[in-house]
Structure 1
Amino acid sequence: MQTLFRRLLRLLPRLGVQVTDLGPGTAVVSRRGTPYRATEVAPGTTVLSRRGGPYQVTGVDKDTWLLRRTQGGERTEIPRQGVVPLGESGALVLMDAPERVDERKMQLAAAEYLCVQHVTAMLGLYGVNCVFDVGANTGQYAKRLRRAGYTGRIVSFEPTSATFAKLEKAAENDPEWRVYQCGLGREEATAEIHTSWMTMNSLLPPSDYGKDRYSRFKKSDTEEIRIRRLDEVMDEALDGLTAPVPYLKMDTQGYDLEVFAGAGKRIGEFVGMQSEVACLRLYEGSPTMGEAVAAYEAEGFGISGMYPVTREATTGRVIEFDCVMMRAEAAPKP
């Protein structure tokens, strides 16, 4: 005996409605003339797609399917060797045509992803509610934190006018993202910064190694900027937070130790920090990785993660690392 549900389904086509029966208790109704295809991917699970449409379902393993756009709607399989399990984490890396993957680019992209995930986890563990983003450029770091799930305050500093305009635009619809047009350093001052080096603008001149590696260093456009001390801007940046728990991120192209020095005794208020440290100097007068890490450790920070940022293609040597450090004594007690 047919159920009332089945009898209603049989009547709908007479009213000009198309019915796609997906199984007991489940059906999709649509206007006639828009045919759909039902693909069962597992018992009790059916994916509905338009016939000839651009999306196809590809099985990855017994519990995972990938919905992907295909050219002209033709099904394209992902080769099994392109599915790489990440240890026992349950995560999979999907690579289309793995033989064409640029290993160096993939490693650096993976390092960037892992760094953001690690930082976000540390922000949560330590209860951070304000991130100081020094050397913000157009807001790339802040956007990554937001995508990774951080919802607390972000205070970004970018000194150059053209880049700051883009940063300000990026932050305009985020009430917890504040932006300041200035650089940070050891002393209050004005200074000339190179503005022709895109994401590598610096207050320092390039080293001989840097000149050999990057052609952009041949340009010499500059802009006068204001430099403030970190301890001088902290009260304003933290205003409105009942119990501030700040984290310091620095990416200032060789100038991070100067920013750090400008925090003075208030560096003790930061539960964690992140600095781009150099194995190979791109800028004259910039500290080595050992010098920078030693200065940070002397103030109570310990390394929790090191992620390569740039690498020499010919030798494999890392040029710079993102060094993430936390103050162990500030960790929540179990």
Structure 2
Amino acid sequence: MQFELFIKKLARRFGVDLRAYRPARSEAARLARMLEQHRIDTVLDVGANTGQFARHLRSIGYRGRIICFDPLQEAHAALVKLARTDPALTVAPRQALGESSGEVEINVSANLESSSLLSVSEAHLQAEPRVRTVATEKVPMRRLDEAVLSYLSPGDRVFLKIDVQGYELPVLRGAERVLGQVIGVQLELSLQPLYQGEPLFREVIDAVEALGFALYDANPCFSDDATGRTYQVDGVFFRNEAS
């Protein structure tokens, strides 16, 4: 035990936190089991950024189809490049997704992945300065119902991942017709406002549960290093009747 503590302390000096690895209890293992249990064969990755979630899915053993959506020019180009190495990954045209069609302006963050249709809050900036807006891009907006028509077949069992920085509920409201095929949903739940006007976790959970889903898992995804306070968690939901 003393040797184990010594190794952990030594590793922390180099910025590494060593913990006992328990495969059955890890976040990745839980997601892999849930996707397998519910026989997911198609993932809609809304807010795919440069493909972080797609790569994560492949790392945990998911081999089904992934359809990626992202409106930003730089992120979209990275997705197209990733798709060249993954035959089961499809990249939809550049577009934002919401509850209506038209044109919108998106705030591009310094770290790219925190870009949003909403303005970033002061608390978010204090916790992570790299979320500051450095540019804007005008992009088309469509409903997911329309954007996904050419990609889905009636028998597909769909997992919908939404990572759109506070704009999750408008995406869901624009997916009314496709939700009948959606078996599971993953989206961000903010415990404190990170973007101006975004709904907080209670409202989002209530909205998703009202659509017939139950909360299966929650994992912290953003916290303040200075205070230790968690600001955001990833919530994973599956249909109550899914099996």
TM-score of the superposed pair, with normalisation by structure 2: 0.88
How far 1:267 sits from its partner (Å)? 1.5
CA distance in 2, matches of 1:167, 1:105: 29
**Residue in 2 aligned with 1:233?**
147
Contact 1:248 / 1:273 at 8 angstroms: preserved in 2?
yes
- 1:316 and 2:239 aligned: no
After TM superposition, list the pairs within 5 Å mapping 1:196-211 onto structure 2: 196-197=109-110, 198-211=112-125
Match of 2:95 among 176, 179, 182: 182
Choose which of 115, 125, 137 in structure 1 pairs with 2:27: 115
| Secondary structure, aligned partner of 1:238 | coil
In 2, Cα distance between equivalents of 1:213 and 1:124: 36
Q: What does residue range 73-222 of structure 1 map to in structure 2 within 5 Å?
A: 80-81=3-4, 97-101=7-11, 106=17, 114-180=26-92, 181-197=94-110, 198-222=112-136
Shift of 1:217: 4.3
Letter in 1 for 2:149: D
CA drift of 1:175 comes to 1.7
Deviations 1:133-170 (A, max 9, x none): 01001101001111111111000001011111011101
Q: Which residue of 242, 250, 260 maps to 2:172?
A: 260
**CA separation in 2, counterparts of 1:265 and 1:165?**
29
2: distance between equivalents of 1:196 and 1:320? Answer: 18
CA distance in 2, matches of 1:105, 1:231: 43
Deviation, 1:209, is 1.4
Report the Cα distance in structure 2 between the residues aligned to 1:255 and 1:196, rounded to whole angstroms. 15
Q: Per the alignment, do residues 281 and 253 of structure 1 end up closer, same or farther by CA in structure 2, a change over 3 Å counting? A: same
Normalised TM-score (structure 1)? 0.65
Unaligned runs of 5+ in 1: 1-78, 83-95
User: Cα RMSD over matched residues?
Assistant: 2.5
Counterparts of 1:24-63 in structure 2 under 5 Å?
Answer: none
Q: For residues 9 and 121 of structure 2, what CA distance do their matches in structure 1 show?
A: 37
1:268 and 1:299 in contact (8 A); partners too: no
Q: How far, CA to CA, are the matches of 2:193 and 2:75 in structure 1?
A: 24
Query: Larger C-alpha radius of gyration, 1 or 2?
Result: 1
Amino acid at match of 1:229: R
Does the 8 A contact of 2:47 with 2:70 survive in 1? yes
Superposed CA deviations along residues 9-58 of structure 1, whole A, max 9, x for unmatched, are: xxxxxxxxxxxxxxxxxxxxxxxxxxxxxxxxxxxxxxxxxxxxxxxxxx
**Structure-2 residue corresponding to 1:74:** none
Distance change in 2, residues 1:201/1:218 (3 Å): closer
Q: Which residue of 1 aligns with 2:237?
A: 325
Q: 1:114 to 1:236 in 2, by over 3 A?
A: farther
Matched to 2:106, the amino acid is I
CA distance in 1, matches of 2:132, 2:182: 38
Q: Following TM superposition, by how much is the alpha carbon of 1:261 offset from its aligned partner in structure 2, in angstroms?
A: 1.0
Q: What's the CA shift for 1:97?
A: 2.7
| Alpha-carbon separation, structure 2, partners of 1:106 and 1:263 | 40
How many residue pairs were aligned?
235
Cα displacement (A) at 1:100: 4.2
